[in-house]
Amino acid sequence: MCNKRILVTGGAGFIGAHLCAKLLQQGHEVICLDNYFTGAKANVSSLLNNSRFELVRQDVTLPLHFEVDEIYNLACPASPVHYQYNPAKTTQTSVLGAIHVLELARFLKAKVLQASTSEVYGDPAIHPQDESYWGNVNPIGPRSCYDEGKRCAETLFFDYHRQYGVNSKVIRIFNTYGPLMNLADGRVVSNFIVQALQGQDITIYGDGTQTRSFCYVDDLVEGMIRMMATESDCIGPVNLGNPCELTMLKLAENVLRLTGSKSKLMFKALPQDDPRQRHPNIELAKSKLAWEPKVALEEGLQKTIAYFRKVLAVRSFREER
């Protein structure tokens, strides 16, 4: 394989850090750009000694000047708690970020991949969701800054392709989890695991019958790299996710069993516009990328639990000193 120089925006975040590590492993040079809003240097600290790795503190809402062959655009807070903290900034990050990576790709004739999301389907009226579905998104609700920002970014990716011939690619990522999620990320898998390990109540929003389908991060990263490697006529969008769908109650049950925790369930209000169900149709990824997830939920949860056990142990050791 020919080695490339690759820009990963949002590279110090959860998925970005795994992607940077994998690209380095494959022999590429990686420039990781991040403003550390939800990411951290610590996520890529093990890569800092690698001479093919560079870390740059920058915001994607500012123009980008790099010489690269490929760009993965991941910069954007992904947890509802964080993307709703400064919603106007979240939309700017998706829209201006997309414009800046696309302008750079256009100038350099580089390939560019957008990390879009299953949230473009909103609270889906069809089930499972395939890529031909246009979605059911509230344009003015508390989640809209994320959903509509990502939808607009997809529009820009397709317009730059049609108008300027940019070699652009769009993947729609479904709920992904694994090591390197932030302790305070706020998403369901990390919340449940951290609560279970600390003996705190497990916070179920609503009655817990809403569903999601969870993909382990290694599987996702493999799919992203395969999408980038496709021919220039394969633009997407392509769903990447694990079709194994379950309710949040069932997820809580699994986490309690695997951690051996005695935590109790605590029911809290369901956030506005929380999608009722989510389940990817991945037939397109199977046929175009020869990709499907390999890591079962049980195995992925065990690895993630082991990671959080270590993080919590280090934290309590530091607090004791």
Per partner kind, with CB cut-offs from 5 to 8 A, the member of ligand NAD, ligand UDP, none near residue 39 is ligand NAD
Distance of CA 229 to the CA centre of its chain: 19
Does residue number 203 form part of the binding site for ligand UDP (CB under 6 A)?
A: yes
| Closer Cβ to ligand UDP, 217 or 248, answer by number | 248
Does residue number 279 form part of the binding site for ligand UDP (CB under 6 A)?
A: no
Does residue number 282 form part of the binding site for ligand NAD (CB under 6 A)?
A: no
Number of residues lying near ligand NAD (CB under 6 A): 27
Question: For the chain, what is the radius of gyration of the CA atoms?
Answer: 19
Does residue number 156 form part of the binding site for ligand NAD (CB under 6 A)?
A: no
What secondary structure letter does DSSP report for 134? -
At its nearest, how many Å lie between ligand NAD and the CB of residue 321?
Answer: 28
Task: Let me know the angle formed at the C-alpha of 299 by 293 and 304, rounded to the nearest 5 degrees.
Answer: 100
Does residue number 261 form part of the binding site for ligand UDP (CB under 6 A)?
A: no
Binding characters for ligand UDP, 22-61, by CB under 6 A (x = yes): ----------------------------------------
Residue 146 falls in the annotated catalytic set: yes
Among residues 78, 94, 267, the alpha carbon closest in space to that of 190 is found at: 78
**Which residues, 6+ apart, have CB-to-CB distance to 190 below 8 Å?**
177, 181, 182, 183, 304, 308
Query: In sequence order, what are the beta bridge partners of 53?
Result: 30
Select the residue interacting with ligand UDP from 55, 69, 271, 283 (CB under 6 A).
271
E strand or H helix that includes residue 53: strand 53-57
Does residue number 138 form part of the binding site for ligand UDP (CB under 6 A)?
A: no
Does residue number 227 form part of the binding site for ligand UDP (CB under 6 A)?
A: no
Residue 132 tokens, joined = 């031909």
**Residues 81 to 140 in contact with ligand NAD, rule: CB under 6 A:** 93, 115, 117
Per partner kind, with CB cut-offs from 5 to 8 A, the member of ligand NAD, ligand UDP, none near residue 60 is ligand NAD
Dist CA 162 CA 42 (whole Å): 39
Dist CA 182 CA 251 (whole Å): 19
At residue 312, what is the residue type? L
Residue 160 tokens, joined = 């730059």
For residue 290, count CB atoms less than 10 angstroms from its CB and return exposed for 0-12, middle for 13-18, buried for 19 or more. exposed
Dist CA 236 CA 72 (whole Å): 14
Region near ligand NAD per CB under 6 A, out of 10-18, 246-254, 259-267, 306-314 = 10-18
- Catalytic option among 72, 83, 146, 177: 146
* Catalytically annotated residues: 146
Chain positions contacting ligand NAD, by CB under 6 A = 9-10, 12-16, 34-39, 59-61, 74-78, 93, 115, 117, 173, 175-176
Chain positions contacting ligand UDP, by CB under 6 A = 79-80, 175, 187-188, 191, 203-205, 210, 212, 248, 271, 274
